[in-house]
Structure formats: C-alpha cells, structure tokens
Amino acid sequence: MKKIVLSFLSGLLVLGALAQEPAAKSFLLADGRDCQSLAGQWNYIVDPMDTGIYKYQMTLLKPNRRYFADRHYFVEESRQIEYDFSAAPTLAVPGDWNTQSEKLYYYEGSVWYRRTIKIPGQAGNDGKVAGNDGKVAGKRWFLYFGAVNYKCIVGLNNTILGEHKGGFTPFWFEVTDVLKEGENSLVVYVNNQRGVSEVPTVNFDWWNYGGITRDVLLVSVPKVFIRDYRLRFDGSSAEVSVTLDGGTVPVTVEIPELGIKCHTEPQRGESISFSFKFKKKTSPELWSPSNPRLYDIVITAGEDRITDKVGFRTIRTEGDKILLNGKPVFLKGIALHDETIGTNPGRCRSEEDVRALLEVAKDLGCNFLRLAHYPHSEQMVRLAEQMGFMLWEEIPCYWNIDWSSPDTYANAENQLLEMIGRDANRASVIIWSVANETPRNPERLSFLGKLIARARAEDPTRLVSAAMEKKLVTPHHGVVEDELIALTDLISFNQYEGWYDGTPADCDSLVWTIPSGKPVVISEFGGGARYGLHGDENKRFSEEYLALLYRKNLEMLMRLPGISGLSPWCLKDFRSPKRPLSGIQDEFNRKGVIDEQGNRKQAYYVLQDFYRR
C-alpha cells in the first residue's frame, strides 16, 4: 500500500501522493459483474475544523487517533476518544448532505462518512475458511465510487486507499490486500469547499451539493479481469478493443443478434482488438432518436464475463450540417441540471429521479439534451440512450477558472478522461464539451485547446465543442467571434436577448455576424419566470414575459444561417445561492420551463409547439 502524506493548504485537505490507482484509468462496470451496492444509511460526523486528522497546532494526529481508525468511545471509555461513528446520526448514500439535514443546508466543509462491510467466510472442502491470515482469498476486490463532491480520502480498516478530486466522475481503488473476512470499516472523508484553483472554481450558478452523491459498489473480479472495452463504428465496420488487468487470457467478443463471435488466444500485452466488417444481411439497425436500437454485447476473458448494450451510429459535420448516420439532423434540445423534481430538490439519487426528468424532456419534444455543467450520472446517460436522446456531456470549466495553473489543468483533464472513460461506448453521446462561458484570453485558449486535443486523441469518433459567448457591438448587432471556434466542431454559444440584453421585441431587428462553415448550435437562451406569477408581457419574471421571450427568440434564431440545434436554458428551476430575490427566486434560478415541483410554465408549451412543428 502506498504511503500517503497529508498537508493543510488554504483551508483544504490535500494529499501529497497519488491514489492507489490512477483515477483516469477507466474501470468498466457492466452487467455480469459481482457487485454489492453499499447504498443505505451511513453514519456521519461534521468536522469543520478537520479534527479527525489534525491536532490543535495543525500537526497530524497519529494514525490510530484519526477518524479513519474508527474507534469507539462506548467500548473504550477509559481511553481519550472524542468521537464514535456508531453513536453518530446517519445520511443516505447516495445523496447530498444539504437536503438531508437542515443544519447542513448551506454547509461547505468536511464531513466524515462511515459504514461497515461484512464479508462472509469462505469454507473449503475441509470446512476451514480460506486465508488463515484473515484476507479474502481467490478474488480481486475493488471499491467503486460513482461520484463524491468534491474532494475525498478513502480509508478501509484504517488503511488510506487514496484520494480523488472532482465532484461528478467515477473513481476506484483496489482493496484486495486490505479487505478481510468478517467486518470491515469503510471511512470516507469528504470536503466540498470551493477553491480558486479548483474545477469548478469559487463562483458558479448552481448549488454546491456535498457528499457521496452517487452509488458506492464493492466489486469482486477474477485475478485477470476486463478493465475496459471500447466499441468504434464507422458506418460499415466496427472495432472492439478490450483492455485486461492482471495478465493475459483468452478473450471472446460476441454480438449474438448480429452473428458476431470473435476469439483470440492469450497474446503479449493487455490490450486486444477485434475488427469486423458487417455484411449486408447482418448490418445493425442504426441507433437514432426515432429508433434507439441497442444490441447485447458479451465479452469473456478467462473467468471474467461482462454483458452490455451498445448502439451503432455515426456522428460528424459536413459544412454547416450535423450528420447523424450520414443524414442532417436538427438538435431539438433542452439543457438541464442533475437535480430532482420534487418539493425538496437535491442531487438525483435513483433511476426514478432521472426518469422523471427525461420523461418531461420527451414530452417537450426533445431529441437532444445538454447535460450541464458537469458530467451527470451514468444512470442518466444510459437511460437517455434507451429513450432516444442525443447528449452533450460537459466538464465544469465554468466561467473563469485558474487558466495558468498546471494543477488546475491536470484536474480538468482528469475529469475529462474519467467522463470519456465512463461513457465512450454510449451511442447517445455525440458531443464532448470542455467549457461554458469562459473569458477570451491567451491562457484560456491554451488551456482549452489542450483539453480539446486530449478529447480528440482519447475519442476521435465524436464532436468536440464548448459553450462560448457572443457580444453586442450595438444594441441591434450581435457578433460571435472566439478563437476557440477554430478548434471546435461546432459554433456553439449562449445568448440571452430579451433577458440580460434588451427586450424580447429587440429580437425582431437584431442582426448577427457569425463565422460560416460550421454548424451553429445555440447552447443557451432563455429567461426567468416564477410559475403562477402572471402579468402583462412587460412584467419580468411573469409567465407571460417568458413565453413572449421564447416566441421572439425562436423566430430570430431560426433565421440564422447554419442553425443546426438549440438547447434552451433550461428544463427545470434549480437551486442557486446566487438568486436571492425573495418571493420570486427564493434561491432558485427560475429559468426552467417547469418549476422545481414539475409545474409547466407557459414557455414550456411555446417550446413544445415549436418542436412538434
């Protein structure tokens, strides 16, 4: 186990060593894995002073005094112990802490989570338990976290496994040498404090939900297992590359419905590729919003076996057109946050939460979703694929981050690679986005240029873009000019005519100057309205004002040359501490076409009618 060095920097806990496994190495979880969900109630301790790690003089506690040791005052009452997880309250995992406890609603800081994991003994033919040293024999074991916001340190049985930064992408640690038969103590330190060099940085327009927000899994695999696979399809042929971990074994790839079965014996190296050209009689039906056809794929490597569902489709641009399966497609979209519909909105926790959002978007008439402003859950991506939504996925390089910091860039690139590693086999994903509304300067151009190049190197089969901005050179002349356009596949930009600029009526006379030669996608437009607030069309935050704004913007935007898609901002009102207007906003960004409880505003029906026509 690698030694971990702890230090205190700018009020945030930082580890001075890498995690046990490089976080950007993807670790595929597909059906067929032996996975135990650790969802449920976890004990927690709020620790704003990081007392679980530091002495009063900010020197490190000894390992057996840190909270990772999971000591029990009520068992060792003669010892100097000032915490006991077993007597502490609980939080649901997955879930954010802000909406589960009134005292944690605004909290940004450190919280410790703990739960126990029981591993039953494995008896052999002689009745003895395998592994007399107490270790679990015969398998490799991993802890997989879907997402933790924002920084975390994971300990098992008082052994530090490693750290992770980034609140929306998966990571994992091997625990084969630490997990034992019987009861195991899993302790996770989580800190969601914002930082100037973090991604996102200190200023962003959504709620900073802290906690273990997505599922935690205990995964067991054979000694040699399938760590990842990638499927690439060019329209007539496909390639499947399989990455093994732990050695080399025979590998078989099957797509039964298409009559495909490829096999190879062990060979040097842990990466194996299969290529096959489809015959006319066995060509797959192509995935599309109107026909979201998926096929079973089965991959076997020695004793390991996974199954998955995959779709076949192509996406590219040609001039100012976006071509899906070689044919022009218009992106009828909406942007959304990963936040539940209900009386107490928080991070989506289940497939039911995700489905509720997607069903509203489907009824709206959408074929496209912008998953803003960070990677949404794997449940969201997979269910969207089944329901026929094309997806824009994004990392949180949002507004103005520390463009000159190598550490900030490394963090952003790692989040990009973890997002791509998780979702590279999803036919629904057509666009990787590297940023939203960032300022034009040389440092930013270099930073995002490297991210774009990295995305293309990792996955050359999809479009790459960013949500850029426009400027008004006069009240009636909008200009889109950004050096980033030369690097992206789309001219995608946000504009708020009628809300932050002018009035809805100004849309009638606004003239645009936009570079030609690439598809134009309006990544955001819209305005705010509180559901049930009525007035004439000049009253801000009324439903009537927002409905007029939508009508005028849709008329204006459809006059743009090369217009190939829209993702208005946004599907649902969402929590934001930047929105304090009492009686109207009440800490909600009111730009949704439905409110936080799912009530549909007049603008919803304006957009629905436009998409249906």
The CATH code for residues 225-313 is 2.60.40.10
Q: Which residues contact 409 (CB under 8 A, 6 or more apart)?
A: 447, 450, 451
Q: Do 416 and 450 touch, CB atoms closer than 8 A?
A: no
Q: Does domain 316-612 have CATH number 3.20.20.140?
A: no
Residues 21-50 have pLDDT tens digits of 444 567 777 777 889 999 999 999 999 999
Please report the pLDDT score of residue 518 as a whole number: 97
Name the one residue in this structure whose structure tokens are 């199954």: 307
Q: Which two tokens stand for residue 446?
A: 């270099």
Residues 444-499 have pLDDT tens digits of 999 999 999 999 999 999 999 999 999 999 989 999 999 999 999 999 999 999 99
CATH of 6-221, one of 3.30.1380.10, 1.10.1740.10, 3.50.50.60, 2.60.120.260: 2.60.120.260
Nearest Cα to Cα of residue 169 among 198, 195, 146: 146
Whether residue 365 is predicted with pLDDT greater than 80 in this model: the reply is: yes
Give the span between the Cα atoms of 533 and 249, in whole angstroms: 65
Residues 111-131 have pLDDT tens digits of 999 999 999 876 444 333 344
Q: Which two tokens stand for residue 12?
A: 């945030």
Q: Which two tokens stand for residue 187?
A: 């302790």
Please report the pLDDT score of residue 269 as a whole number: 67
Average pLDDT for residues 551-577, to the nearest whole number?
97
Whether residue 103 is predicted with pLDDT greater than 70 in this model: the reply is: yes
Average pLDDT for residues 328-339, to the nearest whole number?
98
- Residue 15, strand partner residues: 6
Instruction: For 415-470, give the DSSP string.
Output: HHHHHHHHHTT-TTEEEEEEEESPPP-HHHHHHHHHHHHHHHHH-TTSEEEEEEE-
Residues 503-549 have pLDDT tens digits of 999 999 999 999 999 999 999 999 999 999 999 999 999 999 999 99
Please report the pLDDT score of residue 514 as a whole number: 96
Q: Do 358 and 400 touch, CB atoms closer than 8 A?
A: no
Q: Report H helices in 344-405.
A: 351-364, 378-387
Residues 235-276 have pLDDT tens digits of 999 999 999 999 999 999 999 999 999 999 877 767 888 988
Percent of the chain at pLDDT > 70 equals: 93
Whether residue 437 is predicted with pLDDT greater than 90 in this model: the reply is: yes
Whether residue 292 is predicted with pLDDT greater than 50 in this model: the reply is: yes
Percent of the chain at pLDDT > 90 equals: 85
Domain residues of the chain, as ranges? 6-221, 225-313, 316-612
Give the span between the Cα atoms of 253 and 355, in whole angstroms: 31
Radius of gyration of the chain (CA): 25
3-state SS of 91-103 is EEECCCCCCCCHH
Whether residue 7 is predicted with pLDDT greater than 50 in this model: the reply is: no
Q: What is the model's pTM?
A: 0.93
Helix (H) or strand (E) holding 603, with range, is helix 602-612
